[in-house]
Amino acid sequence: VVAIYAFLRSSTYGDAGVQSSRTFSTKPQIDTISSIRNKLANLYFSDHIFPSGDKLEVANVSALYDIVDTAIDSIGVRGLYFGVFTDGELDWWFQGREDEERWDCWETHGTSHCDAYEPWWWYHYLGAMTAEKLLKEGRVLWDTEKDRNRNYDTNAADLVRKIHRFQYQFRNELGDMTYHATHGLIWHTIAATHAELGTSFPFELTDAFCGDVYGDGEYYAPRANKDIGRECFHSIGHAIFYVVAQRQLQMTSMTSKLQLRPSSGFVLSEDSWCEIYQLCHGAANMTNKTINSSKVEDRCFGGVRHSVRILASDDDERWHYTTPDAQRKTFFLAAMNHCH
């Protein structure tokens, strides 16, 4: 653990670097890890993220976006992901506050699983917000080097691959926070830039984001208990879900400031289920010899199933977190029976 923090604080990042990064002129640092955590903690104990009484399918999380936007300009993606949101530390930061500052979870957030979905959900939103900032501004700060020049990334796929390198290099130290963030980063990038995926699995996009971690168990991270490649394919499933859901909700543009609400009761239409079936099922045609195409298909459906489960109403026993996973899979397959 000492080694990883020494690395993350260092002025260079060696094997974790990606050559596509560019250097731009310096800009004064305006936030620190400590001040950003204080802002997040204050927001966590307010009703700004999910306004009280608002049980709509879409939640406004613009207050969180404002903090993330400024934080990336100040300390970069590396400082935010591997500093502010270091595994477990932000949870501890929140839990260290006085109990009387806590809110009633259902009344304020519209979900009965706040212990699991806060800051767990924030990790996903963090990735989506990083993607939106990159798309809007054309670059995001990675870190600040000793000479005070600021090192930027200009491509979402290259940024994801850089995070993959961190995940693998520190596979014995890092937990699962960055995996959730990359899910959001990938799903937002694809949903915002490819609102029409067509009728076939997005092979080129999958190669762009996941091509560096193809393999079957070769990129396993024991501390997080995750395979980096499989998690990347899982992200593609999330992205396919969000593209289809966005169209179903007739959202003309994708913004990370509006997120489908946890446990909102959002339900896919029959046409949406069939779109998803056609897209994910197409993964079985992958010809890359280094990856089992059936596993890519399974992980794609897994990302969709995960999205369905965490957005379903708490009253919907088909997807409830207490329902055995095998039973949820049965419900999932049944929902697409008419699509074959």
* Percent of all residues in the chain with a pLDDT value above 90, rounded to a whole number: 36
67 near 39, Cβ under 8 Å? yes
**In terms of pLDDT, which residue wins out, 47 or 244?**
244
Q: What is the C-alpha separation between 91 and 36, in angstroms, rounded?
A: 14
| Encoded tokens for 231 | 């998690």
Question: What was the pLDDT predicted at 146?
Answer: 52
Predicted local distance difference test score (pLDDT) of residue 99: 41
Percent of residues, the chain, with pLDDT higher than 70: 74
DSSP string of 22-80, one letter each residue:
EEE--------HHHHHHHHHHHHTSSSSS-TT---SEEE-HHHHHHHHHHHHHHHHHHI
- C-alpha 324/C-alpha 302 separation (Å) is 15
Give the dihedral sign, CA 313/275/134/89. positive
Of the listed ranges 87-101, 130-144, 160-174, 283-297, the one predicted with least confidence? 87-101
195 phi-psi bin (left φ>0, alpha ψ -120 to 50, beta other): alpha
Q: Please tell me the pTM assigned to this model.
A: 0.83
Among candidate residues 250, 246, 258, 214, the one with its CA nearest the CA of residue 62:
258
Checking if the pLDDT of 136 tops 80, the result is yes
- Helix, strand or coil, per DSSP, at residue 7: helix
| pLDDT (mean) for 36-44 | 83
Query: Which pLDDT does position 148 carry in this prediction?
Result: 53
* 17: pLDDT strictly greater than 70: no
pLDDT at 72: 95
CA atoms within 13 A on the CB side of 161: 22
Q: Is the pLDDT score of 205 beyond 60?
A: yes
pLDDT of residue 87: 59
Comparing 68 with 266, which gets the higher pLDDT? 68
Residue 308 and residue 270: Cα distance in Å, rounded?
Answer: 13
Confidence check: pLDDT of 265 > 70:
yes
Which residues does 229 contact at the CB level (< 8 Å), separation at least 6? 210, 213, 214, 215, 218, 219, 291
